[in-house]
Amino acid sequence: MARVCEICGKGTTSGRKYSRRGRPKYLGGIGIKTTGKSKRQFKPNLQRVRALVDGAPKRITVCARCIKSGKVVKAVK
């Protein structure tokens, strides 16, 4: 199963995590210095939901944003 929303197509994206040291200038320090960069992944908040697809209930993988915005019509049991 791919980590992709079946409605909007939202998936994992890659980025970086920065390690920093020092005290910010606005707090009276000398400034923040970057000491390291590492790759990371940002994963979507996916939920498995029973929803109506073409009039029939079906289990689909949907992101929380689509559920909250009302793009998913949940099936009753």
| Length of the chain, in residues | 77
Both tokens assigned to 70 = 């009302």
Number of domains forming the structure of the chain: 1
Q: Is residue 7 part of a domain?
A: no
Whole-structure pTM value: 0.75
Task: Please give the mean pLDDT across all residues of the chain.
Answer: 95
Q: Is residue 74 part of a domain?
A: no
Q: Is residue 57 part of a domain?
A: yes
For β-strands 56-63 and 46-53, DSSP reports them as antiparallel
| pLDDT of residue 1 exceeding 70 | no
Q: Is residue 62 part of a domain?
A: yes
Each residue's pLDDT tens digit, 54-69: 999 999 999 999 999 9
Q: Is residue 19 part of a domain?
A: yes
Q: Is residue 59 part of a domain?
A: yes
Of 71, 25, 29, 26, the C-alpha closest to 47 is 71
Report yes or no: 49 and 63 within 8 Å, Cβ to Cβ. no
Q: Which domain holds residue 42?
A: 13-69
